[in-house]
């Protein structure tokens, strides 16, 4: 792109395209016989000499540069925008939520492993404490899991003698799930591990910040009607 000044005060640039006439973009023109409106109209791309008279005799090339100095609108390359205009990961709230969640849940899962227990087993036990006598189908619906997935967790808890099932009196085909005495004794110990994990991770927040975080997250849960309980 060649930048120039004309003999009558025109400022602009020359675009040279192979096989075509050079195109001049004028920033201004001080020709006395042109009104302000005409000068503005003629800042658009014109063939050589259209905006200001005597352009061939007074045309002076000032410099060659890659920056376009005309008032011609620039057409953005969409491919380039996609390459360079994409926002960074840090600009997404979901990125921060996922990053924090992975750390909190990962540390909790590792702590539970020391008691040979999984997060899924702990969540199921909490559900049974809150809703003794719940059916496997109801439990699967609350956890947003298949019946098969819930059955695998229940089988592990029954093998540890932490959970037992009984049948519904009026319908022997329906199973009712509940904690055993041993399960009721172990659950507070697992809850203490959860409390300690929260304490270690969120100890940098004061009580007001914790309350605000809890309120905002609860608002998002209600706003998006999130009913399933996470087990991972």
CATH number of the CATH domain containing 150 = 1.10.10.10
Global pTM reads: 0.59
Q: How far is it, in rounded angstroms, from Cα 38 to Cα 43?
A: 9
Q: What would the mean pLDDT of 16-38 be, rounded to a whole number? A: 53
Q: What would the mean pLDDT of 59-78 be, rounded to a whole number? A: 45
Nearest to 231 by CA among 150, 131, 137, 148: 150
Question: Do 164 and 130 lie in a common domain?
Answer: yes
Q: How far is it, in rounded angstroms, from Cα 162 to Cα 154?
A: 9
**What is the pLDDT, as a whole number, of residue 142?**
87
For residue 216, is it within any domain?
Answer: yes
Question: Do 108 and 192 lie in a common domain?
Answer: yes
Question: Do 95 and 65 lie in a common domain?
Answer: no
Question: Do 111 and 210 lie in a common domain?
Answer: yes
Question: Do 8 and 121 lie in a common domain?
Answer: no
Question: Do 103 and 218 lie in a common domain?
Answer: yes
Question: Do 132 and 31 lie in a common domain?
Answer: no
Question: Do 61 and 96 lie in a common domain?
Answer: no
Question: Do 65 and 93 lie in a common domain?
Answer: no
Q: How far is it, in rounded angstroms, from Cα 43 to Cα 52?
A: 10
Question: Do 111 and 216 lie in a common domain?
Answer: yes
Q: How far is it, in rounded angstroms, from Cα 48 to Cα 41?
A: 15
State how many domains the chain has.
2
**What is the pLDDT, as a whole number, of residue 13?**
54
**What is the pLDDT, as a whole number, of residue 190?**
96
Q: How confident is the model at residue 39 (pLDDT cuts 50, 70, 90)?
A: very low
For residue 13, is it within any domain?
Answer: yes
The rounded mean pLDDT for the chain is 77
Lowest mean pLDDT across 5-14, 108-117, 203-212 = 5-14
How much of the chain, in percent, has pLDDT values that exceed 70?
62
Question: Do 142 and 60 lie in a common domain?
Answer: no
With a cut of 50, say whether residue 210 has pLDDT above it: yes
Question: Do 120 and 37 lie in a common domain?
Answer: no
For residue 232, is it within any domain?
Answer: no
Helix (H) / strand (E) element for 119: namely: helix 119-130
For residue 140, is it within any domain?
Answer: yes
Query: pLDDT tens digit string along 171-195?
Result: 878 899 999 999 999 999 999 999 9
For residue 228, is it within any domain?
Answer: no
For residue 199, is it within any domain?
Answer: yes
Range of the domain at 49: 2-69
For residue 15, is it within any domain?
Answer: yes
For residue 75, is it within any domain?
Answer: no
SS (H, E, C) 157-202: HHHCCCEEEEEECCEEEEEEEEECHHHHHHHHHHHHHHHHHHHHHH
């Amino acid at each position: 792109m060649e930048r120039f000044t004309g003999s009558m005060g025109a400022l602009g640039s020359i675009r040279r395209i192979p096989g075509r006439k050079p195109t001049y973009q004028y920033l201004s023109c001080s020709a006395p016989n042109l009104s302000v409106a005409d000068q503005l109209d003629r800042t658009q791309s014109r063939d050589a000499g259209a905006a200001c008279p005597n352009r061939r005799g007074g045309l002076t090339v000032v410099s060659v540069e890659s920056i376009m100095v005309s008032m011609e609108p620039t057409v953005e390359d969409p491919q380039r925008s996609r390459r360079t205009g994409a926002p960074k990961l840090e600009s997404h709230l979901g990125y921060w939520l996922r990053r924090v969640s992975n750390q909190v849940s990962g540390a909790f899962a590792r702590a539970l492993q020391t008691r040979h227990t999984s997060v899924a087993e702990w969540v199921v036990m909490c559900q049974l404490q809150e809703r003794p006598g719940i059916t496997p189908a109801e439990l699967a619906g609350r956890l947003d899991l298949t019946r098969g997935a819930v059955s695998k967790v229940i089988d592990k808890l029954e093998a540890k003698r932490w959970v037992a099932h009984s049948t519904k009196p009026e319908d022997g085909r329906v199973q009712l799930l509940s904690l055993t005495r041993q399960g009721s004794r172990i659950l507070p110990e697992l809850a203490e591990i959860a409390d300690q994990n929260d304490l270690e991770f969120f100890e940098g927040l004061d009580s007001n910040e914790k309350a605000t975080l809890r309120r905002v997250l609860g608002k998002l849960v209600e706003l998006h009607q999130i009913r399933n309980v996470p087990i991972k």
